[in-house]
């Protein structure tokens, strides 16, 4: 049976499911560098309150993915943030679908001409995903991880 993907705005009722998506301190760092392991409802609720267009992807009716915009400039760009996929839903196209949903929202709600995404050098899944979806490397900046080690944050962008 084919999997059924849909999406809707994220709600407070989703938080209990969503905080279980990151499976390690590294995974949490990749999707929410400012958060402290383990991800809590309070941390994610705070992110949702200061960000825009928090969205949930449902796979066969279950919350399977989440993302939002951490920057948005009307008529210019949106920056994708907090992208995370439930462990049980990985490999089912959730991230591809979710990025597409967020691109559509960037165009429709903000008339954005560009979508920006950032990905840490150790995040293989992200580094493989974004170029496949048409994103091109646009920058590289140094950051510090949760252990205060130097890491590279690769910046990608895509014309919408």
pLDDT tens per residue, the chain (160 residues)? 567 999 999 999 999 999 999 999 999 999 999 999 999 999 999 999 999 999 999 999 999 999 999 999 999 999 999 999 999 999 999 999 999 999 999 999 999 999 999 999 999 999 999 999 999 999 999 999 999 999 999 999 999 9
Helix (H) / strand (E) containing 116: strand 114-120
Per-residue confidence (pLDDT) for residue 2, from 0 to 100: 60
Dihedral sign from CA coordinates of 63, 10, 32, 132: positive
What pLDDT shows up at residue 3?
72
Q: Which two tokens stand for residue 112?
A: 């954005």
Three-state secondary structure call for residue 155: strand
Pick the CATH number of 5-113 from 3.40.50.720, 3.40.50.150, 3.40.630.30, 3.40.50.300: 3.40.630.30
Q: How far apart are CA 149 and CA 160, in angstroms?
A: 34
Q: In what side-by-side order are the strands of the sheet with 52-59? A: 5-9, 52-59, 62-73, 77-85, 114-120, 150-159, 136-144
Cβ neighbours around 4 below 10 Å, total: 9
Residue 26 is predicted with a pLDDT of 96
| Token representation of residue 110 | 């903000």
pLDDT value at position 139?
Answer: 98
């Amino acid at each position: 049976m084919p999997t059924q993907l849909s999406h809707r705005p994220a709600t407070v009722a989703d938080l209990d499911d969503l905080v279980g998506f990151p499976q390690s301190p590294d995974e949490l760092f990749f999707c929410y560098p400012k958060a402290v392991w383990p991800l809590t409802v309070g941390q994610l609720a705070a992110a949702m309150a200061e960000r825009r267009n928090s969205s949930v992807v449902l796979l066969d009716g279950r919350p399977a993915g989440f993302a939002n915009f951490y920057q948005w400039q009307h008529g210019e760009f949106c920056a994708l943030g907090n992208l995370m996929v439930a462990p049980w839903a990985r490999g089912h196209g959730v991230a591809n679908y979710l990025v597409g949903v967020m691109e559509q929202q960037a165009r429709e709600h903000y008339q954005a001409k560009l979508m920006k995404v950032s990905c840490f050098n150790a995040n293989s899944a992200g580094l493989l995903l974004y170029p496949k979806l048409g994103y091109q490397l646009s920058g590289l900046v140094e950051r510090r991880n949760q252990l205060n080690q130097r890491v590279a944050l690769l910046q990608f962008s895509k014309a919408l």
